[in-house]
Chain A
Amino acid sequence: MLPETSRRDFLKGTAALLGGLSLPSILTVPETAGAAATGGYKALVCILLEGGADMFNMIVPRQKSSWQEYRNVRKGLALSRSSLLPIDHADRSGNNPLRYGMRETMSGLQRLFGEEKLAIVANVGTLVRPVTLREIREGAPLPRQLFAHNTQRELWMLGDSKALLNTGWGGRLADRFDPGPHPWFNLTVGGENLLQSGGRSAPLPFENAEISPDTMRRYGFGPEAGGAQLGRTYQRLYADRRSASNRLLAALAKERMKELKLPYRLSGLFDGLKEIPPFPAGVHETGKPLGEQLRLVAQILSVHNNFPGRPRRQIFFVNHHGWDTHDSDNAHQSEYLSECMTTFQDTMERLGLEDRVTTFTLSDFGRSLSPNGAGTDHGWGNHALVMGGAVRGGEIYGTMPRISPDSPDAWEDRMIPTLASEQYLAEIVRWFGADNDDLDVIFPNLHTFGGPAPEFMS
């Protein structure tokens, strides 16, 4: 339930705005239900590295012979061995006896790895079943359109590399955890996305940490443009057209009406917003800089208890553009990612949320082993990063492939994943509160790989 005062305020605001319109279902504060969503608050922060991040140039072998292999294939793009920032992983599995280092631009993440707040999950990718090079050559089934940006990103977001479903795994999770289509489960600061689009639910977009009850202003109907009565007329036009016979028209009107009501449902959300200093701004970022997006996530997290119904689970989507490095290496991107993730983790600690928030990366695909000159082309398997107090950090999970075309995991110039994207995602979702039944529904092909793995979450 809302605290009494804010509930009153929000009813007042609603009535004032909606005027002649019939009061919608906003009076029923949604219940946060579902066995899976019990316990304390937890949030996932998904950072999409859009374009296909070259993690093979961010986590690099440090042992002389394996570095030499990497050097031979990466040629001019290879990082010098002495420049690597050493990371010392525990190797509890015994799968990864060699030593690795991070790109010198990534000192922040190196520190977090040392503090066991960051884990590396090695060579994950889209798979319909585990495959070896020989099986591929014999025609084993592969995910559709490997190496194409949009389809591969889609498969990651579907959480279903067979593409049997047409909803995102975050959206299905919302449907599963949270019967009742209330929009505070999936939140996005990185735009519309398939990951968070479910059967009933759609992500709630945020552009800044301000929701003002005088919100008609942002629709162009503030006092200086005509004010309340004009705004009500505008709303009436949309309310009526929700039943238009043209489907596109009706869909637009419904969406707009939802948006128009939202600020009143969320009025007071940012009361008590914690002061969060600016994040690194980046240089010439495409789209909204990652730092701004992560800062906004931190701001929302700082007031998560103000959401109506006090949701116990939330997923945030963040989109970091600029990783399709055909023509460059990723010195800038890796540095900016490291700075922003580190600032975010430090902020979570200041807010006392470090054990409740898990941040993880997801990307279209890894990149080709060999360079095309100044950059690399689209690949397949890739490493992922998972960060937070609940992460069993300081460790490399899965099996680090040899960075070489002679590697048993290499398919010519691309890396065959040795972990399925579903396994990686399911392990995160398991921590988030999903039991085996939930996981079967959310990741329908997970059973092919034997369940979530490896156990990188506490």
Chain B
Amino acid sequence: MAILSLAFLSAEVPAGRQEASAFLARATFGPTEEGIDHLIGLGSYDEWIEEQFALPPTFHMDWILSHARGVNGVGDLADHPGQWDRYSDALGTMQLHAWWDIVVHSDDQLRQRVAFALSELFVISKYGPLLNFPDARISFYDTLVRHAFDNFETLLRAVTYHPAMGKYLSYLGNARAGVFGAHPDENYAREVMQLFTIGLYRLRPDGTKVLDENGSPIHTYSQEDVTEMARVFTGLSDDNGHIEAEAAFSSHHSRTAPMRPFSGYHDRGSKRILGHTLPAGQGTRRDIRQALRILVRHPNTAPFVARHLIQRLVTSNPSPQYIERVSRVFENNGEGVRGDMKAVIRAVLLDPEALHGRREFPETFGKLREPLLYISHLLRAFHARNGYHYLEQEGKRLYRYRSFNLEETGFLKQEGPLSALTVFNYFSPEDAPTALRKRGLAAPEMTVYGKQGIDDVLMGIIHKNGFIYELMDLHADLRIGKIERWMKRKQFRRALSYLNTLLCAGTLSTESEQTILDYLERVASRKSPEKLARHLIGLVITSPDYALQR
């Protein structure tokens, strides 16, 4: 009984630096030496989490307003919101620069990591209708940051009212049948069920599908439910005084303030949704509140959200028991509250399977790291120094701020913050190459690995002079003095052991260690300590052992 024994193993104390590093890989954008020291010093995961819960959020809009200084007579953004329209191309790039700076430098790491995981659940993207509206995207991301530790229902409501989501899934300016169209837009009605809360098939609390008498999965909703739900999301538009979608998104305010109801455009008839009835005569707000509550209380939502967070933070193939334990906390935080995100996050990170899965389920535990997280970890672990950057549009310099100048993680089909091609995110929870799929295993992140993973970008950053570094115009100086000194003294094992803890949480196999040491021994006489240090870091972070976070 693996689970019983796991329950006894459950300990909320990091047993050593490697365990601390493994935990921080799940809860932050990558462990650092000081971060590990700090956690070891606290002596308790729980205390670390509490400390993180108490930190003030770092908002991405604030970062931009306080960091970007206008140059060439261009005023600061805070005083000139019209520049969001004028310089939307350039500011779209600044959104990415801000994201990288915050995930690498901010103290509220857990909040930022969870917000990123939520951005892969409540997906909007710079591709599609939000292309020219970076302020809408940034403000939406801040909504996830703001509510990451809130109640799930509050979070879902904030997402639903955000004009970026309204525009992305086209219910901004949506009206009851017969006003603009023959029927209300069904886009959000469908995706809020399929992708954000309950999914396609009925689930048990442990995330497995409920089957009918023929052994087939059972649909959670029908087209009628979608049609009825679409009537709920009618009469909303952005806060610019007009409902018509063509008039929307015309000001910074309208793109960043919550959408509001426009009476006369809402379908006030009664609605039958998932077996519940919303009575006739209700306005937009009341209908939306009740409809979202139906979704949050649906038995699927707990395992659906549990699996999403577990997959994004801990492991691609959680046991049903792990999902169920988290689901139960979603259903009730112990004080009768449903959807308490703090309790859910704690349950995800402190579950015995999260803390001991590496030993208990060696064949299946872990997740392949997302490309964005490889890079954030590299920059954090080696305290990368950024540089001053001038943001330009059409050859004109507009703003100056410090930046790594990183945007996305590769040239094709890889990740960027808020850059999925569709609302289905970069990958789906069941994605896997054929060999794994046949075993019923998922490895969603492999979908975005592309041909060469992101090893080209990593090596470009590590070596600085790689063509990638120049092509991407990066500015991210790694501080590797410590490793260099060890190389100078030929203390290869010591350096490798340090990196094994810092980067791999101790998961580097003996075989891999030997291969790397052999290489160092072989070339040591011909390379400078600096080169050797860079090669060593490169080999560790591009190794398959590192790729699997566990």
Digit string of B355-373 for contact with A (CB within 8 Å is 1, else 0)? 0000000111111100000
Contact between chains at B452 and A147 (CB < 8 Å):
no
A237-B544, A246-B364, A248-B548 as given contacts; A220 in contact with B452, CB under 8 Å: yes
Asked if A245 CB lies within 8 Å of chain B CBs, one says yes
The smallest C-beta distance from A375 to any residue of chain B, in angstroms, reads: 7
Query: Which of A197, A247, A374 is close to B434, meaning CB atoms less than 8 Å apart?
Result: A197
A230 within 8 A of partner (CB): yes
A257 → chain B closest CB, angstroms: 10
For residue A139, give the distance in angstroms from its CB to the closest CB of chain B: 12
* Closest-CB distance, A77 to chain B (whole angstroms): 8
Are B173's CB and A373's CB within 8 A? yes
Task: For chain A, give the interface size range.
Answer: 35 or more
Residues of A within 8 A of B443 (CB): 248, 251-252
B-facing residues in A302-338 (Cβ within 8 Å): 321-322, 324, 326-327
B170, CB-defined interface residue at 8 Å: yes
Indicate if the CB atoms of B366 and A224 lie closer than 8 Å: no
Answer yes or no: B466 CB below 8 A from chain A CBs.
yes
* Shortest beta-carbon distance from B121 to chain A in Å: 15
> Is B512 touching A240 in the complex (CB atoms < 8 A)?
yes
Interchain CA distance A259-B453 in the complex, whole Å: 10
A28 to B200, CA, bound (A): 46
A83 to B449, CA, bound (A): 46
| 9-residue interface stretch from A38-46, A96-104, A280-288 | A280-288
Which A-chain residue is minimally distant from B511 (CB atoms)? A240
- Determine, out of A111-119, A364-372, A432-440, A448-456, the stretch whose residues face the partner at the interface: A364-372
By a CB distance below 8 angstroms, the chain A residues around B512 are: 237, 240-241
Q: B462-488, CB under 8 A of A: which get 1 and which 0? A: 110111100000000000000000000
Instruction: Annotate B168-207 by CB proximity to A: 1 below 8 A, 0 otherwise.
Output: 0110011100011111111100100010000010000000
A236 to chain B, nearest CB (A): 5
B128/A286 in contact, CB under 8 A = yes
Stretch at the interface among B27-35, B276-284, B380-388, B535-543: B535-543
Partner of A259, one of B365, B452, B468, B539: B452
B531 to nearest A CB, angstroms? 8
- Are the C-beta atoms of A220 and B468 separated by less than 8 Å? yes
Q: Which of B413, B435, B511, B519 touches A233 (beta carbons < 8 Å)? A: B519
Which of these, B200, B531, B548, contacts A151 with CB under 8 Å?
A: B200
Q: How far is the CB of A185 from chain B (nearest CB, A)?
A: 14
CB distance from B455 to the nearest CB of A (A): 4
Q: CB < 8 Å: which of B190, B452, B511 contacts A378?
A: B190
> Which residues does chain A contribute within 8 Å of B468, judged by CB atoms?
220
Q: Are B412 and A207 in contact, with the CB atoms below 8 A?
A: yes
Chain A neighbourhood of B174, CB < 8 A:
372-373
Asked if B545 is at the interface of the complex by the 8 Å CB criterion, the answer is yes
Q: Which of B12-20, B40-48, B286-294, B420-428 contacts A (4 or more CB under 8 A)?
A: B420-428
Q: Does B274 belong to the interface (CB within 8 Å)? A: no
User: Would you call A377 and B185 a contact (CB within 8 A)?
Assistant: yes
Given contacts A207-B451, A219-B452, A244-B509, contact A372 B538 (CB under 8 A): no
CB distance from A68 to the nearest CB of B (A): 16
**B186 and A372 within 8 A (CB):** yes
Contact with B along A65-108 (1 / 0, CB 8 A): 00000000101100000000000000000000000000000000
Complex CA–CA separation, A298 to B232 (angstroms): 48
Complex CA gap A368/B509 in Å reads: 55
* B467-A224 in contact (CB<8A): yes
Output the least CB separation between A347 and chain B (Å): 23
* A327-B363 contact, Cβ under 8 Å, with A229-B522, A288-B412: no
Residues of B within 8 Å of A370, CB to CB, are 181-183
Q: Are B175 and A230 in contact (CB under 8 A)?
A: no
Which residues of chain A are within 8 angstroms of B169 by Cβ–Cβ distance?
A: 326
Q: How far is the CB of A200 from chain B (nearest CB, A)?
A: 8
In the bound assembly, the distance between CA atoms of A123 and B356 in angstroms comes to 54
A178 at the B interface (CB under 8 A): no
Does B460 lie at the interface of the complex (its beta carbon under 8 Å from any beta carbon of A)? yes
A-B contact pairs, 11 of them (CB 8 A): A220-B458, A225-B459, A226-B463, A226-B535, A237-B512, A241-B545, A248-B367, A251-B443, A326-B187, A368-B186, A373-B173
**Additional A-B contact list (10), CB under 8 Å, known A255-B433, A324-B422, A327-B187:** A76-B180, A150-B428, A207-B412, A221-B459, A224-B463, A237-B544, A241-B543, A246-B363, A246-B364, A372-B230
